Structure 1
Amino acid sequence: MIVWLNGPFGGGKTQTAHELHRRLPGSAVCDPEHIGFGLHRAMPAGLRGDFQDLAAWRQGVVEVLDLVAQRHPGPLLVPMTVTDPRYFTETVGRLREHGHDVRHFALLAERATVLRRLSGRGLWPGLKRESFAVARLDDCLSALRAPEFAEHVHTDDLPVARVAERVAASAGLRLLPDRDGPLRRRVRHAMVGVRHIRFD
């Protein structure tokens, strides 16, 4: 099974993927952003746009996830924002055509909730480093509310652990119990956030 976690930038995709991974033995996190970062690094900075516009990214995502899904015995957890219906068809749609059981979830929240989450990301609180995410937020939320991006999970009032449990229940996956206390949970979430800070 491939569990694709869609949603706005700052919507909780990565935290939810790692929470599922922690409580789902045998699972693996496969982040398509890294394919995009690799393509960007192969290009002069002035030519870098949205890597999703590159056919190489869309083809690469399908090839990598198809390969891993064939060889890895456990569920794959894929945190990736895709809001263009054409690109959605070329990634999620093609994986389904290849015979993979792709469960897609759009993690949604109100604009103010996402902005608050974005401002708290990284080592330096604030929205200065999140200009790309903020600029695309409204279009992203609007697009993902469309029926083709269901299943929708509204996360405003849900902590990460509950979002993961709701996704797992819908996908028919059985999670280990959540035994973390509040302090350990905050530290773990902070570590996941720091590991995913972009410096380029």
Structure 2
Amino acid sequence: MIVWINGPFGVGKTTTARLLAGALADARLFDPEFLGSMLTAFVTPPTGDFQDLPLWRHLVVQTVTGLDRHHAGVWIVPMSLLDPAYRAEILGGIRAAGVEVREVVLTLPEDRLRARIDADLVEAGARGWRHDHLARALATFASTSDARLIDASDPPEQVADAVAAHVRGETRFPAPGHPGRQPE
């Protein structure tokens, strides 16, 4: 099974993924950014974004399905997919290979997300990129209807618990009116 953690840059995908890997039995982490780094050592994306390389998207599908096939367990993949066509290509390709994908989108109100981006000392170099792509990310994920939305306002451990509950098929909903609440 693949647990794809999607959402805006800086929302807490990697932190959630690391905590989730420790919370789920036989779970491991795969970050497609490694493939992007590998590819950009050989080719320069014309737009500056490795996700725009068709080869990157192909390699993500092949790598994720290969990991699932040859190293069974739960693979946790933290990666923002802002382009709906790329998201469909990658997640659809994984599913077409017969691999179960559970996608979650971490959400946060814009003002809190901007504050979190500014406060991040670990990825301070990514601050500009994150802010520059925030409007597009918020628009993309506001129209996502086929993924589980999980509010990332809570402490990281609680966010990871909510993702784990979704993966296990448990029903844990935030309070009515909470931004992460799913329609019933």
TM exceeding 0.5: yes
Give the structure 1 partner of residue 42 of structure 2. 42
User: Which of 155, 158, 170 is 1:159 aligned to?
Assistant: 155
The answer to whether the Cα contact below 8 Å between 1:145 and 1:152 also exists between their aligned partners in 2 is no
Q: Is the 8 A contact 1:30 1:76 kept in 2?
A: yes
TM-superposed deviation, 1:129: 4.3
Could you say which structure has the higher helix fraction?
Answer: 1
Compared with structure 1, are the counterparts of its residues 123 and 13 closer, same or farther at alpha carbon in structure 2 (3 Å cutoff)? closer
Q: CA deviation at 1:147?
A: 3.3
CA distance in 2, matches of 1:121, 1:173: 32
1:6–1:81 Cα contact (<8 Å) kept: yes
Give per-residue Cα distances to partners, 1:57-109, cap 9 Å, x unaligned: 10000000010001122100000000211101110111111111100001010
Give 1:130 deviation, angstroms.
1.3
Structure 2 vs 1, CA of residues 109 and 149 (structure 1 numbering), >3 Å: closer, same or farther? farther
Deviation per residue, 1:26-73 (Å, 9 max, x gap): 2110001111111122235x9561111110010000000010001122
Query: Could you tell me whether the CA contact under 8 Å between 1:10 and 1:114 is conserved in 2?
Result: yes
CA distance in 1, matches of 2:71, 2:122: 34
State the TM-score, normalizing by the size of structure 2: 0.85
**Equivalent residue number for residue 23 of structure 1:** 23
Between the aligned partners of 1:59 and 1:89, the Cα distance in structure 2 is 12
Provide the C-alpha distance between the structure 2 equivalents of 1:173 and 1:37, rounded to a whole number of angstroms.
34
Alignment partner, residue 117 of structure 1: 116
TM-score (norm 1): 0.78
Q: 1:124 to 1:96 in 2, by over 3 A?
A: closer
Q: What is the rounded CA distance, in whole Å, between the counterparts of 1:24 and 1:173 in structure 2?
A: 13
Q: Which runs of 5+ in 1 are unaligned?
A: 175-200
Q: Does 1:143 align with 2:140?
A: yes
Task: State the Cα RMSD in Å.
Answer: 2.0
**CA distance in 2: counterparts of 1:8 and 1:162, whole angstroms:** 19
- Partner secondary structure for residue 140 of structure 2: helix
Q: Is the 8 A contact 2:24 2:164 kept in 1?
A: no
